[in-house]
Amino acid sequence: MSEKVLQKANWSSFVQALADARELWFPVKDGPIYKFAPYSGDVDAGLEEYAYSSVPPKAVVLPQTETMFLYQVGDKETSLPEEKKEKVVLGARPCDARAMDIVDRVFQWDEDDPYYLENRNKTAVIGLACNEPFVNCFCTSLDGSPGSTQGLDVLMVDLGDKYYLRSVTDKGSRILGDAESALEDASGEGSQAEEIIKEAEGKIKRSIDTEGIREKLEEGWEAPLWDEVSRACLGCGACTFLCPTCHCFDIQDEVEGFDGRRCRMWDSCMFGEYTLHTSGHNPRPSRKERTRNRISHKYRYYVEKFDKIACVGCGRCITSCPVNIDILDILSRVKEEL
Amino acid sequence: MVDLETIRKKAKEIVSREDVKHLIGWRKGTFGYRVTPYWVEAPEDAEELVYSPLCNTNLATSLTLAEKLPLPKGQEPDRRKTALLVRGCDSRAVVQLLTERGVDREQVVLLGLPCRGVVDLRKLKDSYPEDNEVADAEWKEDKIVLNVSGEKKEIPREEVLDDHCLVCRYPNPVEADETLGEKVEPWAEESHPGVEELENASFDKRWDFWEKEFERCIRCYACRNACPMCYCEDCILDRLNPTWIYRSNNYSENTAFHIARAFHLVGRCVSCGACERVCPAGIPLGKINQKLVKEVREKYEFEPGTDPEGVPFQASYNPQDQEDFIL
Amino acid sequence: MSNKENPYIPHMAKVEDTWYETHGERAIKTFRVVFEDEEVKESWEHLPGQCAMIGVLGVGESMISISSSPTEGKFLRFSVMRMGKVTQALHQLEPGDSMTVRGPYGNNFPLEEWKGKKILTIGGGIGQAPLRPIVEYVRANINDYQDLTVIYGARTTNDLCFKQELEDLRECQEVSSCHLSIDIEEEGWSHFVGFVPTLLMEVNPSPENTIAITCGPPIMIKFVLENLKKLGFEDEQIYTTLENRMKCGIGKCGRCNAGPLYVCKDGPVFNYATLKQVPEAFA
């Protein structure tokens, strides 16, 4: 573990050093939102304004669309896409890194998923602790914290005029080594960082006691609650696409001329088409079943398989829902009514 | 305009009717400025109804989103009516649906409400960020009053209202069984926000503009689903056989999606702005829709959802229609 | 054999023979395929009940039950109903053409466990496809099992799959019985007329030391389950296979779950005692 300090005055050279060593992904303002995009040489881009990315950095390791293999229509040969580059994600929020840890289990479970794992193994994550939590943050209800290091390689804390950086993994130490010239050794900033994190923790206002939810979800399968909470649902994919732990995908063949590729793309259990059989039969025929599945997957099915809740409390599904379907509201009703 | 007690009282009356299943309105959300569509099933539920500039969903969508699942054997379908709170734009959506036979007038009860515009949350984001506490808002002349944790803030409506509302010419319901409160005088001149600016830009500029916007689209289809006019049972976007638009997220497919969406709204968009307000990527969809609205108005003198007895735009033929631009 | 480095890359398999089981808009066509790569052909192992992702490059893939038993030889059989985009493309394939195959996926019928027992299969329509490998497997190892009874029906004679094979089965001594039915009376049909659950009651199999496996349309399964209970079968003696929309086949893509069960990993074969606990399984 190494502890470093980055003076904000040295920000540009730090960024440049990271970008020289690896493909650097960075929260970029795109229209009114932030999303992670490859660094384009604009060293002025800082993290000062950035609060959180609307599209979580899962998109770096599980791109919304990913080519699995290529072929010529009519041929039997398939070829793999280009090898992935070594990447570093700068500025991921700790909850988003914890989410990657959750997604990792799915793609490592039973059989390895080569695309995800190649990406993930080649990606280092430098997390930025949250000094100010956001309105719908509830990470502390899910064993997280504004300064959680789970899933991170380096934790970075904003101390005002400088950042405190601490490597969490060997990979993290190597990353800090790459940018050594821009960094100074830390001397006591660690405790200042701890204070800031603790203070931020105290500012988190939303919470849920997750005790017993798994069991209640099982017992209350047919409860009228599901009709009520899904009624306003538009059936769009905003909650799932923007969720850092949602990882479901579709696989499609896409052909232009004779150039074919099989690719996968994010899919959403909130879409009716997701489970629709070709016969027209749909085992989840309405938004009620789909909403129940979304919640149950995170708070029951995943838990049964991996002994962990597949939610990190980032609050994106709450903030982005056009009709204010609020997972905390649903969960507290599950606790009370089921 | 209209006070909440009047609305609640009337709502109670309506849901007490034997021929009414429920009334769809809005109630307070769980945080910040959020308001959520709400189904009033029993008279006492009406106490939770709210009506404010924060009611930013088009309730006509609830009609088209209603799922028609096969009934268990022997069960009779519930033929009671659905009652709906409608403002100008909601009612225009219902009217457009009526002319398309998407909704049966006999099956809906429309309770009209005058409206002075809804807030665009994106405009509040920087100066009045959302807090955990549920805030309230009201109209006061040409201002919006936000009530956050007991503290009232008066803001000129130009600063916070949705662009569509700023130029709305139909603040009162065009169709309703009964309209409550006093009519609101339209305050806007005819205009199509954001359209002129783009029209005057060069081709390359416009191309670059939309390329950047569509590239950001995550294809969650919130715009489609929030739109009261998007109610095809078998949407071209979900179709796999044949696949008209690939599911890959890239500029090309995303553009194809947005063009398809826009084309299906020609002469149908009622300018409620719901699509743009729900977009998690902040794509200015209104600019596309308004361009279409403008074209249809100028070239065909047609305004969707304004005449309950009318014929849908695509289904009408007028020998006087301009044809100089038709190949 | 799943591709070790990359389970998503399919193997090419040559279509050796094809024939139509049924005709019409939703025709069922059977394909007998062999892997083009000798190594894959030799190392491929599957058991009755398992599925494979088969498809056509440029169109896509579908999860289809392997309807042959490994005891039949180094080939795979698939019986595919023409339904959507992929199955339409598959139906275009003729002997000499290639399809893509990856797998095998899912669990299998515990035929080892069932040794010494009486095996009863109850199928309807295309639902006989996953049951066929049981029939073939038990026939090939008939000394290990006490008895084999096949009950199978379809709407009309035109909807019956594996007709000739099933007729042949009736002649076979090792099979104690094979009972066929169609829903509606037809000229020249000498077997049972009526629904499969009714035929089941007619056959009246004893639950004693018996395993019942059923597959077919959901409505048929529902009544077969009811009738099996009436005949005194315990939940643990009853098996079925589920199908759901699938994409990856390896428990990643998320869509095939019925409640907490992933059909691609935990299934497709389920014991009724397990399935009973999962309301979504019968949705």
Q: How many angstroms separate the CA of residue C115 from the nearest CA in chain A?
A: 29
Q: How big is the CA angle at C46 (ends C41 and C51), to the nearest 5 degrees?
A: 105
Could you tell me if C157 and C218 lie in one domain? yes
pLDDT value of residue A218: 93
Rg (CA), chain C: 18
Rg (CA), chain A: 21
Q: What is the pLDDT of residues B77-115, one digit of tens each?
A: 899 999 999 999 999 999 999 999 999 999 999 999 999
| C26 part of a folded domain | yes
Q: DSSP letter at C143?
A: G
| C209 part of a folded domain | yes
Contact A139, A147 (CB under 8 A): no
Which residue from B113, B97, B95, B102 is spatially nearest to B25, judged by alpha carbons? B113
A64 touches chain B (CB under 8 A): yes
Contact A132, A105 (CB under 8 A): no
Distance (Å, rounded) from C-alpha C245 to C-alpha A275? 6
Q: What is the pLDDT of residues C18-27, one digit of tens each?
A: 999 999 999 9
pLDDT value of residue A73: 93
Contact A36, A218 (CB under 8 A): no
B218, B234, B254, B261: which to substitute to probe chain A, counting the most A Cβ within 10 Å?
B218
End-to-end CA distance of chain B: 49
Q: What is the pLDDT of residues C66-102, one digit of tens each?
A: 999 999 999 999 999 999 999 999 999 999 999 999 9
pLDDT tens string, chain A, 338 residues long: the values are 789 999 999 999 999 999 999 999 999 888 889 999 998 876 556 787 788 899 999 999 999 999 999 999 999 999 999 999 999 999 999 999 999 999 999 999 999 999 999 999 999 999 999 999 999 999 999 999 999 999 999 999 999 999 999 999 999 999 999 999 999 999 999 999 999 999 999 999 999 999 999 999 999 999 999 999 999 999 999 999 999 999 999 999 999 999 999 999 999 999 999 999 988 889 999 999 999 999 999 999 999 999 999 999 999 999 999 999 999 999 999 999 88
Q: Do B224 and A206 touch (CB under 8 A)?
A: no
Of B61, B218, B283, the CB nearest to A64: B218
Could you tell me if C92 and C70 lie in one domain? yes
Interface partners of chain C (CB pairs < 8 Å, 3 or more) are A, B
Could you tell me if C156 and C228 lie in one domain? yes
Distance (Å, rounded) from C-alpha A49 to C-alpha C242? 51
What does each C-alpha distance from B162 to B53, B216, C29 come to in angstroms?
Answer: 10, 21, 57
Stretch B22-45: mean pLDDT: 96
Q: Do A234 and B61 touch (CB under 8 A)?
A: yes
Interface A-B, measured as beta-carbon pairs within 8 A, has a size of: 122
Stretch C29-53: mean pLDDT: 96
C33, C61, C245, C277: which to substitute to probe chain A, counting the most A Cβ within 10 Å?
C245
C258 exposure class (CB count in 10 Å sphere: 0-12, 13-18, 19+): buried
Which residues in chain A are contacts of C279 at CB distance < 8 A?
221-222
The residue behind tokens 């502890």 is A3
Q: Do C57 and A222 touch (CB under 8 A)?
A: no
Could you tell me if C54 and C127 lie in one domain? no
Task: Phi first, then psi: give them for residue C35, nearest 5 degrees.
Answer: -65, 140
Which C residues in the span 68-127 are in contact with A, Cβ-Cβ below 8 Å?
83-84, 87, 98
Distance (Å, rounded) from C-alpha A173 to C-alpha B139? 57
What does each C-alpha distance from B212 to A36, B217, B281 come to in angstroms?
Answer: 15, 9, 11
Could you tell me if C101 and C188 lie in one domain? no
Interface partners of chain B (CB pairs < 8 Å, 3 or more) are A, C
Residue of A nearest to C262 (CA): A301
Which residues in chain C are contacts of A274 at CB distance < 8 A?
245, 255
Q: DSSP letter at B76?
A: P
pLDDT value of residue B8: 97
Q: Do A277 and C9 touch (CB under 8 A)?
A: no
Which residues in chain B are contacts of A323 at CB distance < 8 A?
36-37, 57
Which A residues in the span 236-295 are in contact with B, Cβ-Cβ below 8 Å?
236-238, 241-242, 250, 252, 254, 263, 265-268, 271-273, 285-287
Distance (Å, rounded) from C-alpha B145 to C-alpha A316? 27
Query: Domain with C22 in it: what CATH number?
Result: 2.40.30.10
Tell me the Ramachandran region of residue C251: left when phi exceeds 0, alpha when psi lies from -120 to 50, beta otherwise. left
Could you tell me if C64 and C130 lie in one domain? no
Q: Do A326 and B249 touch (CB under 8 A)?
A: no
C153 exposure class (CB count in 10 Å sphere: 0-12, 13-18, 19+): buried
Could you tell me if C136 and C213 lie in one domain? yes
Length of chain C in terms of residues written: 283
Q: Do C8 and A262 touch (CB under 8 A)?
A: yes
| C163 part of a folded domain | yes
Distance (Å, rounded) from C-alpha C243 to C-alpha C257? 10
Q: Do A283 and C244 touch (CB under 8 A)?
A: yes
Contact C207, C233 (CB under 8 A): yes
Number of structural domains in chain C: 2
Interface B-C, measured as beta-carbon pairs within 8 A, has a size of: 7
Contact A311, A142 (CB under 8 A): yes
For residue C2, pLDDT over 60 is answered with no
Q: What is the pLDDT of residues B167-211, one digit of tens each?
A: 999 999 999 999 999 999 988 777 887 898 899 999 999 999 999
Q: Which residues contact A290 (CB under 8 A, 6 or more apart)?
A: A230, A233, A235, A269, A270, A271, A272, A274, A284
Strand, coil or helix: what is C73? coil
Higher confidence at residue C153 or residue C169? Answer: C153
Contact B152, B126 (CB under 8 A): no
Could you tell me if C21 and C49 lie in one domain? yes
| C273 part of a folded domain | no
Give the pair of three-digit tokens for residue B317.
């033929």
Which residue from A241, A238, A242 is spatially nearest to A250, judged by alpha carbons? A241
Helices (H), B129-248: 157-160, 163-166, 195-199, 203-215, 222-226
| C112 part of a folded domain | no
Q: Do A31 and B282 touch (CB under 8 A)?
A: yes
Contact B229, B93 (CB under 8 A): yes
For residue C132, pLDDT over 90 is answered with yes
A136 touches chain B (CB under 8 A): yes
pLDDT value of residue C1: 45
pLDDT value of residue C5: 82
Distance (Å, rounded) from C-alpha A298 to C-alpha A314? 13
Q: What percent of chain C has pLDDT over 70?
A: 98
Give the pair of three-digit tokens for residue B25.
């309105």
Query: Domain with C203 in it: what CATH number?
Result: 3.40.50.80
* Three-class secondary structure assignment of chain A: CCEEEEEHHHHHHHHHHHHHHCEEEEEEEECCEEEEEECCCCCCCCCCCCCCCCCCCHHHHCCCEEEEEEEECCCCCEECCCCCCCEEEEEECHHHHHHHHHHHHHHHCCCCCHHHHHHHHCEEEEEECCCCCCCCCCHHHHCCCCCCCCCCCEEEEECCCEEEEEECCHHHHHHHHHCHHHCEECCCHHHHHHHHHHHHHHHCCCCCCCCCHHHHHHHCCCCCHHHHHHCCCCCCCHHHHCCCCCCCEEEEEEEECCEEEEEEEECCCCCHHHCCCCCCCCCCCCHHHHHHHHHHHHHHHHHHHHCCCCCCCCCHHHHHCCCCCCHHHHHHHHHHHC
Q: What is the reported pTM?
A: 0.94
For residue B156, pLDDT over 70 is answered with yes
Distance (Å, rounded) from C-alpha C169 to C-alpha C178? 7
> What mean pLDDT is reported for chain B?
92
**How many other C-beta atoms lie within 10 A of the C-beta of residue A171?**
18
Strand, coil or helix: what is C14? strand
Distance (Å, rounded) from C-alpha C222 to C-alpha C247? 27
Domain containing C78 equals: 11-105
